Amino acid sequence: MNTSVVPSSSNFRNELPTTDSAGGRRWLYPRSVTGRFTRWRTVVALVLLVALFAGPFVWVDGHPLFLFNVLERRFIFFGVSFWPQDFYLLAFGLVTFIVFVTLFTVVYGRVWCGWACPQTIFMEMVFRKIEVWIEGDYNARKRLDTSPWTGEKVAKKSLKHGVFLLISFAISNTFLAYLIGRDQWLTLITDNPNAHIGGLASIWLFTGVFYLVFAQLREIVCTTICPYGRLQGVLLDKNSLIVAYDFIRGEPRGKKVRGEERGVRSTAIQNTFYPLPIAKGDCIDCKLCVQVCPAGIDIRNGTQLECINCTLCVDACNEVMHKINRPLGLIRMDSQQGIEQGKPFRFTSRIMAYSGVLIVLLGILGFLLVSRPSLDVTILRAPGQLFQRETGKQVSNLYLVEIMNKTYRPIPVRFRLSRSDAKLIFVQPLSTVPAGELTKGMFFINLPEKSIRQNSTPLQVDVLVGNQVVKQLETTFLGPVH
C-alpha cells in the first residue's frame, strides 16, 4: 500500500525493528496494555487454546473429533473420516481454503495473524504473560537482560525457561496426539520407553522446535519464516481493513501543553471535521503505540509488513485520547481509502468476485461431501493371470477386490454379476466390511466356455448393501475363442 502521504521519519525502514545498526538481534520488550480489543483478544485466545488442547482427546461415538495421521494417510475432521480415496475432496478443499484466505486478507487484512494464529496466541497470551509474571514489566525485563549475572537473574531466567520447556512439552504432546491419535499417544507415553524410541524422540524434537520458536525466534517467525506474512503485501489494497493511523487527524504531532487547544488539521492539512485550522493534531507523540507493539514498529509510519493487526496500539492510543479528552480512534481498524477520504468501508468488485468464486467452491465441496459414498470398492484382475479351464467346461478368472468402509459402523455387503450364466466364488467369505477399515479379498468368476465369444468379455459387478445397489463396477473376463 502507498504510504508516501504519511508523515514519518526518513530512515524508519533502513533497519528492521528486530535488528540493530550492526545487524545484530534487537530484543523487543512490548509494554502491557488493557482495553476493549485486548479483552476480546483474550477471550478469543482462551476459546482457541481450550479447543486446541482438547481437540485430539474429544471422542464422539468411539472415534476422535480430529485426527491428522499422515503416516497412515487417515484424516478425521469434525468426526468425518477421509482416506486416500478422498483425495479429490482434499484438492477441492485446498483450493477453497486458498480462495478463502485470499478473500479474508483482501477484506480484513491480517486479522487472522493477530487474533487466531497459534503462533501469536501462544506467544502473546501464554509465553509473554509468563515472562511478564516472572521478570516484570517491559522496563524490568529490559533492565534484567542488560544487568550482570546475579543470583536473582539466574533464578528468574531458569524459572522462565523451565516453564517455557514445560509448556513446549505440552504443546509437543498435543501435536503428536493430533498426528497419531489419543490411544496410540497414551500407549507411547505409558509403555516401555525402549519399545517407542522413535515416538519419544519425536516428542523431544517437537519440544525443542516449539521452545526455539517461542523463546528465541518469536516475532521473526511472523516476519521472515511464515509465507502468509509475505503474501499479505500482494493481497492488500486501499480498501482492505487494516490497523491504521489517521495521519490527517493526528498530524502534525506535538507534546501536549497545558491549556493548549488541539485539533486534527494544521493550516497545511485542512480538516473537514474541525473547521478551524489548529497548530497541532491529536497525536501527542507519546510513543505508546510503539511501546506496546509486539513487532516493534511505529504504526504512524503507515502499513508495514510486520504489522499483524493485533490492535494493541489501538487500545494504547484510545487510552491516551481518553485522558486528553480527544475523540477515540486516532489509530483504528479502517482502510487507507477511509483514512484519506473519509469513505466508509464498502464491498468492491474485487471482493464480490472473490466471494462469488468462494461460494461456488463451497457449493461444489458441500455437494462432494454429501454425495461421498460410504463404501469405496475397487475390483482388478489378478496381475499375471489369464484364465483357467475348470471341470464342466467352465473358464475362470481371478480378481482382487478392495473395499474401504468410510463409516463408523460395519456394513454387510454382497456381490452380484450382470450375467445370469456367470458365477462368483470368493476364496474366503466376504460378507461384512468392518467399520473404518480397508478390507481386501479375492474371488473367481466362472463362465461356461461355450458362452465366450471374444478374448475379453465385458462384465458388470454390482455391490449391494441389503437390496440396494451402492456401486456398479465394470471389468473384463478373459477366455479362449474358438
Q: Please indicate, yes or no, whether residues 287 and 206 belong to a single structural domain of this protein.
A: yes
Element (H, E) at 333: strand 331-334
Share of the chain above pLDDT 70, in %: 92
> How many CA atoms, within 13 angstroms, populate the side-chain half-sphere of residue 335?
20
Q: Is residue 92 part of a domain?
A: no
Last residue of a domain, one of 341, 362, 397: 341
- Please report which confidence band the pLDDT of residue 452 belongs to, taking 50, 70 and 90 as the band edges: confident
Residue 271: pLDDT band with limits 50, 70, 90:
very low
| Between 100 and 61, the higher pLDDT residue | 100
Residue 379 lies in a domain: yes
Residue 100 maps to a domain: no
How is residue 68 written as a grid cell? 491428522
Domain C-terminal end among 341, 359, 385: 341
SS3 at position 210? helix
Q: Kindly state whether residues 392 and 471 are assigned to the same domain.
A: yes
- Percent of the chain's residues with pLDDT above 90: 42
- Does 379 share its domain with 337? no
Looking at the structure, tell me whether residues 300 and 425 fall in a common domain. no
Question: Do residues 336 and 382 share a domain?
Answer: no
User: pLDDT at position 13, please?
Assistant: 64
- Whether residue 286 is found in the same domain as residue 412: no
Neighbours of 353 (CB within 10 A): 12
Residue 109: its H or E element: none
pLDDT surpassing 50 at residue 67: yes
- pLDDT of 2 above 60: no
Residue 19 DSSP class = B
Mean of pLDDT values over 406-423: 89
Half-sphere exposure of 476 (CA within 13 A, CB side): 9
Average pLDDT over residues 42-55: 95
Tell me how far apart the terminal alpha carbons of the chain are, to the nearest angstrom.
78
Mean pLDDT of the chain: 86
Question: Do residue 391 and residue 320 come from a single domain?
Answer: no
pLDDT band of residue 11 (cuts 50, 70, 90) is low
pLDDT in tens, 21-37: 777 888 999 999 999 99
Residue 403 belongs to domain spanning: 375-478
Q: Does residue 413 belong to any structural domain of this protein? A: yes
Query: Does residue 98 belong to any structural domain of this protein?
Result: no
332 lies in the same domain as 384: no
CA distance 316 to 286: 10
The verdict on 307 and 452 lying in the same domain is no
**In this model, does residue 10 exceed pLDDT 60?**
no
Q: What is the count of structural domains for the chain?
A: 2
Can you give the pLDDT at residue 311? 94
Yes or no: say if 291 and 31 are a contact pair by the CB < 8 Å rule.
yes
Sign for the pseudo-dihedral over CA of 65, 66, 70, 74:
positive
The answer to whether the CB of 235 falls within 8 A of the CB of 102 is yes
* pLDDT value of residue 71: 78
20: left (phi over 0), alpha (psi -120 to 50) or beta: beta
State mean pLDDT over 32-47.
95
Confirm whether 185 is domain-assigned. yes
90: in domain: no
Check: CB of residue 31 under 8 Å from CB of residue 137.
yes
Residue 226 scores a pLDDT above 80: yes
CATH code of the domain covering residue 428: 2.60.40.10
- 191 & 114 share domain: yes
* Pair (383, 246) in one structural domain: no
> Do 277 and 422 reside in the same domain of the chain?
no
CB 320 within 8 A of CB 286: yes
Does the residue 89 lie in any domain?
no
Decide which of 5 and 463 is more confident.
463
pLDDT digits (tens, 9 = 90+) for 161-170: 999 999 999 9
Q: For residue 7, is pLDDT > 60?
A: no
- Provide the grid cell at 65: 473429533
